[in-house]
């Protein structure tokens, strides 16, 4: 085997693509119900966009980006996340000047050069939404509910919504001091990893999975208890809106989003069906990002969710059975006269919107029947010289095994009628 897909990338093969189609269709329909419109941006951007937007010190920018120089020497990067790209587009195209609140969604591939593991790939796919232009917690709530509704629509059961507030430029610095002081007292006992974080981003120590670290930080001060008045009121309003919407959530003061741009609301949706990478969704508010990217300060909220992780949860919960695409009709030809007829008739069916397959491998009638069965064709038309002479064909219903005679000239009508008769009320 000479060529292989790149480490951490995967093919989506014909046997599984219907699952992706189902997930994507469901996402679109819920997004549309909430009146979000799709935005598509290029797969790559100027490297500096991500460096500035996501934060120079984040892991994503520091060590995970697929960055390369193009032939003119420009540094480009395959997008590791979507928010910075959406904001760039928002600013570049003056979307905020056309309407005060812009609500967009996306479904797109992302790229991060990390070590692959369960639920983590180098090319992965996210869906997400951004609501740009509103600061009221109503819109934070809408974003949270929107993401949760998508999981419900997909049939995913066991997920939890965890919310927190990470404060703002006003309250975060003084909280950080308090936290740092507290952590200094236990610094010697912290894990090596956490000690490394102490210098860079002490907030993340709260997020540590190390049991000892968690115990040591049990009584550490949490951001949510040290919010300024504005942030505190925003957070409590959000909670009561969610409650009034009957959304179950937990407050988790240890949620710290890894990207620099978050302010106020931060939330995660997690599932215990995923293994170690248990986050289905991460999101929150980022009121400073547009300005950071040289736009006019614009409050924004959004979320990003992993499609592969949603699929994992669905598989774990057995939400898929053997669905596959199958043709309505397979034409099995007994002889060469039949084959000549088959290719013409197949085109007629197809042009009438009836899916149809024929044999291309010069196989025996028996083999053609086996093929029709394997493909789960609903009906098989059997055709040969006899039928051509008499102007009718045998039509076999592969589910019941019943076989009937249909005049050749009536065939298209016959199956169009079948379509309506078999699936009353069903349309699409």
Residues 210-249 that bind RNA (CB under 7 A): 210
Which DSSP string do the residues of 139-186 spell out, in sequence order? Answer: HHHHHHHHHHHHHHHHT---EEEEEEE---TTTHHHHHHHHHHHHHHH
Number of residues that bind RNA (CB under 7 A): 71
The verdict on 61 binding RNA (CB under 7 A) reads no
Distance CA 216, CA 239 (A): 29
The verdict on 263 binding RNA (CB under 7 A) reads no
The verdict on 394 binding RNA (CB under 7 A) reads yes
- Closer residue to RNA in complex, CB, 147/298: 147
When binding is defined by CB under 7 A, the residue of 371, 379, 392, 415 that contacts RNA is 371
Residues 373-392 that bind RNA (CB under 7 A): 373-374, 380, 382-387
User: What does the block give as tokens for 265?
Assistant: 């609301």
When binding is defined by CB under 7 A, the residue of 19, 103, 112, 339 that contacts RNA is 112
Distance CA 209, CA 224 (A): 20
CA 182 to chain CA centroid, Å, is 39
Per-residue x/- track, 274-313, RNA (CB under 7 A): -xxxxxxxx---------------------xxx-xx----
Q: Which of 401, 383, 379 is nearest to 392 (CA)?
A: 383
User: What does the block give as tokens for 401?
Assistant: 């095994």
Structure-token match 């397979």, residue found: 330
Residues 116-175 that bind RNA (CB under 7 A): 116-121, 124, 126
What separation, in Å, do the N-terminal and C-terminal C-alpha atoms of the chain show? 42
Do 235 and 225 form a contact (C-beta atoms < 8 A)?
Answer: no
- Closer residue to RNA in complex, CB, 25/404: 404
Per-residue x/- track, 13-42, RNA (CB under 7 A): ------------------------------
Do 239 and 260 form a contact (C-beta atoms < 8 A)?
Answer: no
- Tell me the closest approach of the beta carbon of residue 215 to RNA, in angstroms: 14
The verdict on 206 binding RNA (CB under 7 A) reads no
For 352, the 3-state DSSP assignment is coil
- Tell me the closest approach of the beta carbon of residue 134 to RNA, in angstroms: 21
């Amino acid at each position: 085997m000479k060529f292989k897909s790149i480490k951490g990338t995967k093919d989506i093969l014909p046997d599984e693509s219907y699952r992706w189609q189902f997930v994507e269709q469901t996402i679109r329909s819920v997004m549309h119900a909430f009146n979000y419109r799709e935005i598509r941006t290029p797969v790559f951007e100027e490297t500096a966009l991500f460096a500035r937007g996501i934060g120079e010190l984040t892991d994503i920018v520091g060590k995970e980006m697929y960055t390369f120089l193009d032939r003119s020497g420009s540094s480009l990067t395959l997008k590791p996340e979507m928010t910075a790209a959406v904001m760039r587009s928002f600013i570049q195209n003056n979307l905020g000047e056309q309407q005060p609140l812009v609500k967009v969604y996306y479904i797109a591939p992302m790229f991060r050069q990390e070590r692959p593991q369960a639920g983590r790939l180098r090319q992965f796919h996210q869906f997400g939404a951004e609501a740009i232009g509103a600061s009221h917690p109503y819109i934070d709530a809408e974003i949270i509910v929107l993401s949760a509704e998508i999981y419900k629509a997909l049939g995913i059961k066991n997920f939890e919504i965890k919310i927190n507030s990470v404060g703002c430029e006003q309250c975060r610095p003084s909280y950080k001091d308090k936290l740092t002081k507290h952590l200094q007292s236990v610094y010697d006992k912290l894990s090596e990893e956490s000690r490394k974080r102490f210098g860079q981003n002490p907030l993340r120590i709260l997020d540590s999975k190390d049991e000892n670290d968690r115990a040591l930080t049990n009584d550490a001060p949490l951001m949510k208890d040290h919010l300024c008045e504005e942030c505190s009121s925003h957070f409590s309003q959000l909670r009561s809106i969610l409650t009034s919407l009957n959304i179950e959530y937990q407050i988790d003061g240890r949620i710290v989003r890894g990207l620099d741009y978050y302010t106020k609301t931060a939330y995660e949706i997690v599932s215990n069906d995923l293994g170690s990478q248990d986050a289905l969704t991460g999101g929150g508010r980022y009121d400073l990002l547009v300005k950071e990217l040289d736009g006019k300060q614009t409050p924004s909220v959004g979320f990003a969710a992993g499609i592969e992780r949603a699929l994992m949860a669905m598989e774990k919960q057995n939400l898929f059975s053997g669905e596959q695409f199958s043709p309505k009709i397979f034409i099995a030809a007994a002889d060469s006269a039949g084959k000549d007829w088959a290719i013409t008739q197949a085109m007629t069916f197809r042009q009438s919107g009836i899916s149809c397959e024929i044999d291309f491998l010069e196989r025996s009638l028996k083999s053609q029947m086996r093929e029709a069965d394997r493909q789960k064709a609903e009906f098989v038309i059997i055709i040969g010289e006899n039928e051509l002479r008499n102007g009718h064909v045998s039509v076999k219903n592969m589910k019941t095994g019943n076989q009937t005679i249909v005049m050749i000239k009536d065939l298209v009508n016959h199956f169009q009628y079948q379509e309506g008769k078999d699936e009353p009320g069903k349309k699409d």
